[in-house]
Amino acid sequence: MSDFEADGFYDDDWSECGELSWNEFDWERYLRVQDEGLHRYLAIYESVLTHPRRIDEVARQLGWGEWEGHEIDLQDEAADTEAKQGDDATAAPTVTLPPVVLAKTTPAEAAKAAPSVAASLPSAVLSVTVPQPAPLRSTGEPSHQFGSDFEVYTLHKNPVYVATRALYLRLRRNWELLAASPESIPLKIALPYLSSLHAGETHALQAIQAVEFGDYAMSVCLFKRALAALNQSLGLLAKADTEAAKNYAESMRISLFDLREIWLRVSQDSREEFNYWLHDDEP
């Protein structure tokens, strides 16, 4: 998929992997590593916040430019066009996306959309650190039986899943820290905004899981629901009437736009995949 490859293992891909036998300790350690991955994503995201193609840059730095052996082009559009000169391949048909306007952010706009909020938020809000959990104790070695060159894949490693959870973590964590001072957030939007974040994340994660199972049409429907919840979040931020809430809106709105772009990309790819299989089944 473009910039984000959402596919996991299908059909008989697991048949050559041997037998996996992990206990609770093994899976808890695995899940902690995946949790740390969310903080790594956020740390890189904050460092490239003014980049014109920041979500692609984060993917590049995390090594998502090559996923399951498929190279993903993360260069800018000009370089991509130059590389394709002389290519006689027929252009892919236009795919109709859900009726949501995709915001294109220039470097200047991105910088303007992410001003410092140190005056209204705690200084720790925008600092991203990887938590150090208490060490786990085990009486033996991990019980998996895969070869040393095999890496276990679960939904937690899906790039779209990681990006979605990380960006929602950024949005939710900063709002909760701001809510520590009741006078900073208008009561009329405090809980409705958190509820809209929860709805958007829930629908998006269900859509990503549908893609993993190959239910492309369902994934498009679920992404539409996620986009509707995201638009509700944007609408609620527009009602912010305190200085602190306005600063939050200016700083965090950029992440909502990035989530929208990611989902629209995957929705487009899901439509293409669905149309491919639909036409492939025709006599």
pLDDT single digits (tens) 188-226? 899 999 999 999 999 999 999 999 998 999 999 999 999
Sign (positive or negative) of CA dihedral 109, 259, 169, 183: positive
Sign of CA dihedral 182, 188, 191, 197: negative
Structure tokens given for 131: 């938590």
Label residue 138 by pLDDT band (50, 70, 90). very low
pLDDT at 21: 77
**Residues 98-112, mean pLDDT to the nearest whole number:** 39
Mean pLDDT across 108-128: 40
| Residue ranges of E strands in 32-173 | 66-67, 70-71
Predicted confidence (pLDDT) at residue 260 exceeds the cutoff of 50: yes
Write down the pLDDT at residue 247.
95
Contacts of 270 (CB under 8 A, 6+ apart): 211, 216, 217, 219, 220, 223
CB 145 within 8 A of CB 21: yes
Distance CA 19, CA 113 (A): 49
Specify the range with the lowest mean pLDDT, choosing from 17-26, 27-36, 215-224. Answer: 17-26
* pLDDT tens-place string over residues 52-102: 999 999 999 999 864 333 344 433 433 443 444 444 333 333 333 333 333
* pLDDT at site 282: 56
Q: Where are the domains of the chain?
A: 24-82+96-129+149-280
pLDDT at 151: 74
Instruction: Using the predicted structure, report yes or no on whether residue 272 has a pLDDT greater than 80.
Output: yes
The predicted pLDDT at position 19 comes to: 55
Task: Give the list of residues 6+ apart from residue 152 with CB closer than 8 angstroms, or none.
Answer: 20, 30, 144, 146
Tokens of 95: 């795919």
Residue 130: what residue type?
Answer: V
